[in-house]
Chains A and B, each alone.
Chain A
């Protein structure tokens, strides 16, 4: 089944404790992206990647890191999480750069930073 998976689905952590949210897709997509969803703000793009070793900032990259060492994986790293990073995070992928083509979204990761 074609899908985007994220782990963990739920995470509660404390300020300053480094964490990684994994994202993997099995559709051989070149493009992958991370978003955060907050009430009243919709989805905002954090980082995106056009292919292996090619990443760029989205609208709200501060406090986040990403890497794209393999085509299928695009982890989101929070080196020193803060309470304002409490949010619902979505990973997405698509076949070509950005799109025109459909983005496929993962189920989301709900992060709480205390």
Chain B
């Protein structure tokens, strides 16, 4: 089947710390991979994506590389800011992009 597993939260970091949120997946076929971010009281927003193996998605200082050999798509940022505090969801899509599977979300709090 299709599923996404991401690291448990919550995660608390000091400003300018390095961030890694782990994400692994199982999928039938060749999925596309995504990271979405949810700020308090809002819907999800796309943060970055990768559609094939070895692609690197990047946006706002965040990066993730599609690793087929380890079935992973870990999210990283070199220096987090207070404004990065949010819940982060790893997701995959299959079936020509019609079906989506999300992880459970990882809550990040960045303290000054």
Query: A residues near B, CB below 8 A?
Result: 4, 31, 33, 35, 40-45, 48, 50, 56, 58-59, 90, 92, 96-103, 105-108
Would you give 12 A-B contacts (Cβ < 8 Å), ordered by A?
Answer: A41-B104, A42-B89, A42-B105, A48-B98, A48-B99, A58-B99, A90-B43, A96-B97, A97-B96, A99-B32, A101-B97, A103-B44
A105/B96 in contact, CB under 8 A = no
- Number of B interface residues at 8 Å Cβ cutoff, please give it: 24
> Contacts A45-B99, A48-B99; is A102 near B46 (CB within 8 Å)?
yes
- Tell me which residues from 42 to 58 in chain B have a Cβ below 8 Å from any Cβ of chain A: 42-46, 49, 51
- Tell me which residues from 24 to 82 in chain B have a Cβ below 8 Å from any Cβ of chain A: 32, 41-46, 49, 51
A33/B104 in contact, CB under 8 A = no
Q: Is B85 part of the binding interface, using a Cβ–Cβ cutoff of 8 Å?
A: no
CA distance A63 to B51 in the complex (A): 33
Q: Is the interface of B mostly helix, strand, loop or mixed?
A: strand
Chain A residues near B101: list those with CB within 8 A.
Answer: 45, 59
